[in-house]
Amino acid sequence: MTVAVPAVEASGLVKRFGARTAVDRVDLRVDVGEVYGILGPNGAGKTTFLRMLFGLIRPDAGTLRVFGRTWGEAGPRMLDGVAGFIESPRFYPYLSGRRNLNLLAGLDGGGAGSRIDAVLDVVDLAGRADDKVGGYSFGMRQRLGVAASLLRDPRLLVLDEPANGLDPAGIRDMRALVRRLAAGGLTVLLSSHNMDEVEEICDNVTIMRTGRVVYHGSIDQLRAQAPDPSHRLLTSDDAQALRLGGDHPAVSVSAHPDGGLVLRAQPADADAYILALGQAGVAVRALHLEVAPLESLFFMLTETDPAAGHDVPAQAQPDALTGAAS
């Protein structure tokens, strides 16, 4: 039986800058055909990892393979079939989008020029291809960066914070673009600090904090370990609502620091509690979600010290932490 070679495989990867360890013994595997997210706050080590993948910097320890190749074994050919960008793509603002792509295609060769119209269509820029890039919105420049990457006809597309700085419409367009590319069979590796972005488009995720892995697993595993949703509840009688909370063991009700109450419960349990309030004559004046469950888990994982096991939430410690450094 032939074992499929992963698109990306890191083992014990370490990168130091002086006394600071930016990436600390990271293990991860991106299989061919999946959309994989590297998630974490600023300074977590996401971009440093991607710079090592592109060969812009070398690891101090560990191994990084792309389609089974290391830089030491293959040199620049390690990146055959790989395209993408680190941080925001840059173009000549006084040239059109099409002219910028023509210049890049000339550098790439290999028939890249014949794909310009096709990639402009994929990223929904065909109608603005002959406009100067200086007149493009930030989101359009991000999509032009994806188009430039697709010129290489890659098997692996690497995107560093592709939705960063975009307005809501731009974020929607970028997510839709990534989903279309993945549906066409392209392997996508992206970094993000936005849990919503990763939840919507990724199959698996590695969450990092200060260079170390604090979670590794599927989005479904992550959802299963997320805490109860947290809502802010305003009622006509908060004291009575607190007392009634004691009759519902699956519900947590406490005072909110800014007034009103905090309600934590699964949807069915929250529904039963809200109905009980109405039956007791307590009016519900407002109920809104404060922190989504996955976002709450993300904060719990990234705002504690991954080196101190007692600080990492208990629900995040079982098999889902298979990628954590020890």
Q: Which 3-state string (H, E, C) describes the chain?
A: CCCCCCCEEEEEEEEEECCEEEEEEEEEEECCCCEEEEECCCCCCHHHHHHHHCCCCCCCEEEEEECCECHHHHHHHHHCCEEEECCCCCCCCCCEHHHHHHHHHHHHCCCHHHHHHHHHHHCCCHHHCCCEHHHCCHHHHHHHHHHHHHCCCCCEEEEECCCCCCCHHHHHHHHHHHHHHHHCCCEEEEEECCHHHHHHHCCEEEEEECCEEEEEEEHHHHHHHCCCCEEEEEECCHHHHHHHHCCCCCCEEEECCCCCEEEECCHHHHHHHHHHHHHCCCCEEEEEEEECHHHHHHHHHHCCCCCCHHHCCHHHCCCCECCCCC
pLDDT at 297: 61
Whether residues 189 and 218 fall in one domain: yes
What residues are paired with 289 via a beta bridge? 231
Whether residues 238 and 284 fall in one domain: yes
Structural domain contains residue 318: no
What are the counts of helices (DSSP H) followed by strands (DSSP E) for the chain? 11, 13
CATH number for position 261? 3.30.70
Structural domain contains residue 33: yes
* β-strands 212-218, 230-235 pairing: unpaired
Whether residues 243 and 270 fall in one domain: yes
- Specify whether the CB–CB gap between 213 and 26 falls below 8 A: yes
pLDDT at 54: 92
Structural domain contains residue 96: no
pLDDT at 315: 35
Structural domain contains residue 219: yes
Whether residues 23 and 69 fall in one domain: yes
Whether residues 252 and 277 fall in one domain: yes
Structural domain contains residue 90: no
Listed residues 201, 224, 247: the one ending a domain: 224
Whether residues 19 and 77 fall in one domain: yes
Q: pLDDT, tens digit, for every residue of 206-229?
A: 989 889 988 888 877 776 666 667
Whether residues 16 and 75 fall in one domain: yes
pLDDT at 264: 83
Structural domain contains residue 101: no
| pTM greater than 0.85 (yes/no) | no
Listed residues 224, 245, 266: the one ending a domain: 224
pLDDT at 201: 84
Domain count within the chain: 2
Structural domain contains residue 109: no
Structural domain contains residue 181: yes
Listed residues 185, 204, 224: the one ending a domain: 224
pLDDT at 162: 85
Whether residues 244 and 220 fall in one domain: no
Whether residues 77 and 182 fall in one domain: yes
CA–CA dist 322, 28 (Å, integer): 9
Whether residues 274 and 179 fall in one domain: no
Whether residues 20 and 66 fall in one domain: yes
CATH number for position 12? 3.40.50.300
Whether residues 256 and 216 fall in one domain: no
Sign of CA dihedral 63, 78, 162, 184: negative
Residue 259 makes CB contacts below 8 A (sequence gap 6+) with 234
pLDDT at 314: 32
Segments in the chain below pLDDT 70: 1-3, 223-228, 290-326
Tell me 207's DSSP state. Answer: E
Give the domain range for residue 239: 230-291
